[in-house]
Amino acid sequence: MRLHTLLCLSLVSILPACQMMEPHSETAEQIDQEHEIAQEIATTCEQSGELADKAFDCEAADEGIIPVTHPKEEVEVEIAPEPIPMDVAAADVWQRVSQNLAFEFEDNARIASQRNWYLKHPAYMQRVAKRAKPFLYLIVERLEEENMPLELALLPIVESAFDPFAYSHGRAAGMWQFVPATGKRFGMKQTWWYDGRRDVMASTDGAIAYLRYLNEMFDGNWLHALAAYNSGEGRVARAIKKNKKLGKSTEYWALDLPKETRAYVPKLLALADILRDAEKYSFSWPIIENIKVTEMVDVGSQIDLALAADMAGLSVEALHALNPGYNRWATDPDGPFNLLVPVDKVEKFSEAIAATETKERLNWVRHKIKSGDSLLKLAHKYHTTTDIISQVNELKGNVIRAGEYLVIPVALKSMDFYSLSQDQRLADTQSKHKSGTYQVKHQVKSGDTMWDISRKYKVNMRSLAKWNGMAPTDTLRPGKELVVWLKGKDGKKHSDAVIRTLTYTVRGGDSLARIAQKFKVNVSDLVAWNQISTQKYLQPGQKLKIKVDVTRT
């Protein structure tokens, strides 16, 4: 399990032992225990002091928190709901939920603590409501259809603040925060093109299936089921078994669980309590009309999201915000082909789709193969996959010949238009001025780990992961390019720095120290930029990459 790897990498003194041990395979139960990471990191922090603090966010871990990243600014999607019919029981969808709450519980200090936080932060609920507005009605409808408690409509507030792009350092993604294995286990397809964990309706169906499974596993006890959703069914089952053996109560409140899980269920119950007695607490829940404002349309085949956006009368960014499951510039060629659009756009969109043949839903380029071309190189150039190029061109293998032609599907617009695609979100994350004056690129080699790379560049491991939109435990694949933010030679950050990259040809008599002095940079920087060893002599004619702040050189 990645937890073992994470803890091993955190302590230099035990690295040899870690390398000798084979990590456990990712079984469903082990993956469900990802949230134990925070508790384990806290223990490591206590034992290892400054070393661990450089690698992890010890303060957050001590509070039992696995941070959730919201990688994009809010995207405002214009939605024009129709007037609410007179026969609708509740004019507000929150009111609809409050009228059908099912959990019975006694108030206690743990619930009160969470309730006080929400009551003191009304602006937080305003942000949550803005994210929830396009989806909440559909989620509540789906819960009602499946005869599930409507308290579960509040769970995405606890998990992700209703952000479908949320990503935790435990590798959980989406509004309902599924880790990869559990997502697949409950029907969420995950490919290069598409991630069902971020697809709001697909992940809602998966969450319902998982919660129903947990509820049945724990004999109808919803508090046990919710705790298991957070920390894994194995963890909760062992806590119950332990209490039984000791003759203690097995109710949720008496179980020995991780800090995060001990706070998790009270958060949901606190929200339910505030919603039920909003007048008592003088708390104004932001209004979300109790009427469908978005609708799913099946387009039937792969389509460029820019073309679909034009058909629907939306910006690409707005369409992607409603359909965050799509990783790239188009829907998955193998489906799903569903797109969520505002209800007032459905008729126009459906008519445009019906009038557009399948072959016209993508843009195509006829590429003449040149010497040095490969399927991998072309896939990278045209933002697609080798499988798609092979399939479209009916290739038998990976060999392509110079002078021949390939037909390749390409994006209708430049990649900048697909600002919420995975590639563009990563580029945006990597380009932001984080904690250094300039960035260097590190191409992952076989055997590289986050720990190795963070030590090589003398940066915080968690920061390195965050700069690249990853979790510290994510697998590094050879060839992947990571961004590393470094500080200037004086250790200060210069917001006005203008960094330029130049190529220097080594001359006879040159040394790293002499070149560094000439360009006013550090020897360590030269080594990092060029991934060279200080033990080897420079050769005349050798090319070196140098990052120069032109405002200070």
Boundaries of domain holding 403: 363-411
- pLDDT tens over the chain, length 553 residues: 333 333 333 333 323 333 322 222 333 333 333 334 444 444 444 444 443 333 334 444 433 445 566 655 667 777 766 665 555 567 899 999 999 999 988 999 999 999 999 999 999 999 999 999 999 999 999 999 999 999 999 999 999 999 998 887 667 889 999 989 999 999 999 988 899 999 999 999 999 999 999 999 999 999 999 999 999 999 999 999 999 999 999 999 999 998 888 999 999 999 999 999 999 999 989 999 999 999 999 999 989 888 899 899 998 889 999 999 998 888 888 889 999 999 999 999 999 999 998 888 887 778 888 888 888 888 888 777 788 788 777 788 888 888 888 877 776 655 555 555 455 555 555 455 455 566 778 888 888 888 888 888 888 887 888 788 777 777 787 777 888 888 764 444 444 345 667 778 888 888 888 888 777 777 777 887 887 876 677 888 888 888 765 544 4
Inter-residue contact 230 to 35 (CB < 8 Å): yes
Whether 298 and 277 map to the same domain: the answer is no
Indicate the helix (H) or strand (E) that contains 453. Answer: helix 450-457
Sequence-distant (6+) residues with CB within 8 A of 187 are 196, 202, 205, 206, 209
Q: Which of 465, 487, 509 is the last residue of a domain?
A: 487
Whether 367 and 356 map to the same domain: the answer is no
Whether 110 and 64 map to the same domain: the answer is yes
Q: Which of 360, 382, 397 is the last residue of a domain?
A: 360
As annotated, the active-site residues are 159
Whether 265 and 406 map to the same domain: the answer is no
Structural domain includes residue 16: no
Distance CA 71, CA 232 (A): 26
Q: Which of 411, 445, 474 is the last residue of a domain?
A: 411
Whether 350 and 367 map to the same domain: the answer is no
Total of domains in the chain:
5
Structural domain includes residue 24: no
Whether 204 and 318 map to the same domain: the answer is no
Structural domain includes residue 288: no
Structural domain includes residue 113: yes
Whether 223 and 93 map to the same domain: the answer is yes
Distance CA 324, CA 494 (A): 35
Whether 276 and 306 map to the same domain: the answer is no
Whether 441 and 480 map to the same domain: the answer is yes
Whether 330 and 181 map to the same domain: the answer is no
pTM exceeds 0.75, yes or no: no
Whether 195 and 273 map to the same domain: the answer is yes
Whether 390 and 507 map to the same domain: the answer is no
Structural domain includes residue 91: yes
**Location of structure tokens 């214009």:** 78
DSSP letter for each residue of 135-163 = THHHHHHHHHHTT--GGGGGHHHHHHTT-
